[in-house]
Chains A and B, each alone.
Chain A
Amino acid sequence: MSIISDIIDSTKAIIKGMSITLAQIPKEKWTVQYPDDPVTLQPRYRGQHLLHVDELGREKCVACFLCAAACPSDCIYIIADDDPRPEEERIGVDERYAKIYNIDYGRCIFCGYCVEACPKDAITHGYNFELSVYTRADLLKTKDDLLITKQKQSPNYRVAFSDEDVDSEYKEI
């Protein structure tokens, strides 16, 4: 007798579960079809770094080493140099600039401490998260890879800057 009631109860439970599952079919899908559709990121998202330039195209970094000091994983490597040329011809905004600025993405943990530390707003987190490479040496990004003028945005992500964008990312289910 108890076996029969067990079977009935289990069947009821399965039917109840299936009704919930099937009711999901007409509803809007939460899943993002990455990489066919872009991923929506929040404005504060911490992706690959960007080295910024000012309106004249000069690098903002003054090689103060604060980002390297703040970094918990010691992934930033800087060599500073002096640029004695007149102001218009310089590489950086100041006489002192970073001759070499490397970030080792094999070590970087994307904590945002370097961005918090930078007194010149020269380094920020960009939004690129597609950093996989075939060899480990390629994870070492140099200044040429990091400068904002040299990076191009991938079509696989977009950033929700406005309220409408934020809302579009939240679907009513």
Chain B
Amino acid sequence: MSVSTQNLPPQFEVVDSPLDSQMTISMGPQHPSTHGVLRLELVLDGESVVKCTPDIGYLHTGMEKLFEYKKYQQGIVITDRMDYLNPLGNNLAYVMAVEKLLGLEIPERAQTIRVLMCELQRIASHMVWLGTHALDIGAMTVFFYCFREREKILNLIEAASGGRLTPSYFRIGGLMMDLPAGFERRLKQFTDNFPDAVDTFNTLLTGNTIFQKRTQNVGIISPEDAIDWGLTGPSLRGSGVALDIRRANPYTGYENYDFEIPVEGDCDVWSRYLVRMRELGESLKIVKQAAARLKPGSVKADAPKVVLPDREAMKTHMDALIHHFLIVAEGFDVPKGEVYHPIEASKGELGCYVKSDGGPKPARVHFRGPSFVNLSALPHMAEGEMVADVVAIIGSIDIVLGEIDR
């Protein structure tokens, strides 16, 4: 029984009366297992969740508006800060959307390196997911091993781009610079050792009865509901729908790589966990293939009005110097039009919409963040479950609040 106050919208309904068995509690925004500043308003009946309302916006920084004040190339650094666990994926979505507007042709080597780096970043992102997900459920050790593996990937990304969390490695028309000397050797050291780490995770979690009991038959969402709610990425594939943008709508040459799309049909936290664990192996497969395909060549498109010239050419040739000054100081004009470019980020479909009205700055940039859409299905999954399972469900949809609030 709830005592409702008159003339108030339903979300302000007072349900917290001593006569009532229901209780409203606020989970977050400082709750450690909400992976950021997410606040959940939970209505509990005993230990089971009656209603769950996510409350977002604590991390809102107005990024999409900020794009309108920055030149096209300056926007890349803003994308780093959206989904900070998958910055190279964000770079790729934005950069490819602008390249689509410009109609640029990207050289083979740049495309291969993009695939390579994005898949490394996907593994790093899944490592954070796995560590925190296990930590929420109560398995603390996995966290340390996951962050050790992530550290190796971050060292590789640091070696290539100079940044660890915010690499900004991709540029419109190619890459910031080529891979450093000795990168392939170090990459091989990583790819040789990573399967052992995955085995460790499998021993610690996949074969662990305690972990299975916490995750099986929890947070069920049927395939139809998952599609209706717009879930993408591993959360959707955990419900038995085999949709992957890399296969459905290939970009940067993903059609040339041999990999599987892991699908699990149990629709619960456990099957979403299994999908991501199997994705680690598939990403590693793509990394190895991409590393084998690296051939010497240019990493920048042949578009002198858009892409910064080589540093040597800029110091010796007057026309290159003029282009350099114009691109840096004035930016480059992008033809009028609007595009949407989706990529498969580590959390799902990350789409970038760019509208240009002809100048060096975009008229509108919008991102379709996978975390935002996946979070909207959380009430559907959490209602009727136990309150302790809510953290498991949040972990299983793998959200990053930087991307939700933007």
Q: Which residues of chain A have C-beta atoms less than 8 A from B70's C-beta?
A: 72
List residues 203-225 of chain B with CB under 8 A from any CB of chain A: 203-204, 207-211, 213
In the complex, whether B176 has a CB less than 8 A from a CB of chain A is yes
Task: State in angstroms the CA–CA spacing of A90 and B159 once bound together.
Answer: 38
Task: State in angstroms the CA–CA spacing of A163 and B182 once bound together.
Answer: 7
Identity of the chain B residue whose Cβ is nearest the Cβ of A9 in the assembled complex: B209
Task: State in angstroms the CA–CA spacing of A44 and B77 once bound together.
Answer: 17
A66 contacts B328, C-beta separation under 8 Å: yes
**Given A44-B161, A110-B166, A111-B77, residue A17 in contact with residue B155 (CB < 8 A):** no
Q: Which residues of chain A have C-beta atoms less than 8 A from B168's C-beta?
A: 111-112
Identity of the chain A residue whose Cβ is nearest the Cβ of B208 in the assembled complex: A13
- The residue that B180 contacts in the complex, of A14, A21, A30, A43, with Cβ under 8 A, is A43
Interface size bucket, B side? 35 or more
Task: State in angstroms the CA–CA spacing of A65 and B371 once bound together.
Answer: 39
List residues 156-171 of chain B with CB under 8 A from any CB of chain A: 158-163, 166, 168
Q: Which residues of chain A have C-beta atoms less than 8 A from B166's C-beta?
A: 109-111
| Residue of A17, A20, A65, A173 with most partner-chain B CB within 10 A | A17
In the complex, whether B329 has a CB less than 8 A from a CB of chain A is yes
Q: Which residues of chain A have C-beta atoms less than 8 A from B176's C-beta?
A: 112, 116
**Given A44-B161, A69-B329, A110-B166, residue A119 in contact with residue B155 (CB < 8 A):** no
In the complex, whether B200 has a CB less than 8 A from a CB of chain A is yes
A17 contacts B163, C-beta separation under 8 Å: no
B203 contacts A20, C-beta separation under 8 Å: yes
- The residue that A30 contacts in the complex, of B148, B208, B209, B213, with Cβ under 8 A, is B148
Q: Which residues of chain B have C-beta atoms less than 8 A from A69's C-beta?
A: 328-329
In the complex, whether A148 has a CB less than 8 A from a CB of chain B is no
- Convert A141-173 into 0s and 1s, putting 1 for each residue whose CB lies closer than 8 angstroms to a CB of B: 000000000000000000000010010011011
B158 contacts A45, C-beta separation under 8 Å: yes
Q: Closest CB of chain A to B360's CB: distance in Å? A: 11
Identity of the chain B residue whose Cβ is nearest the Cβ of A68 in the assembled complex: B329
In the complex, whether B20 has a CB less than 8 A from a CB of chain A is no
A46 contacts B163, C-beta separation under 8 Å: yes
Q: Closest CB of chain A to B233's CB: distance in Å? A: 28
A17 contacts B204, C-beta separation under 8 Å: yes
B207 contacts A13, C-beta separation under 8 Å: yes
- Convert A38-76 into 0s and 1s, putting 1 for each residue whose CB lies closer than 8 angstroms to a CB of B: 000111111000000000000000000110011010000
B148 contacts A17, C-beta separation under 8 Å: no
Task: State in angstroms the CA–CA spacing of A119 and B78 once bound together.
Answer: 24
In the complex, whether A125 has a CB less than 8 A from a CB of chain B is yes
A-B contact pairs, 8 of them (CB 8 A): A44-B158, A66-B325, A110-B166, A111-B163, A112-B176, A117-B328, A166-B186, A172-B193
Q: Give the A-binding residues of B (Cβ under 8 A).
A: 70, 73-74, 77-78, 139, 141, 148, 151-152, 155, 158-163, 166, 168, 176, 180, 182, 186, 189, 193, 200, 203-204, 207-211, 213, 308, 314-315, 321, 324-325, 328-329
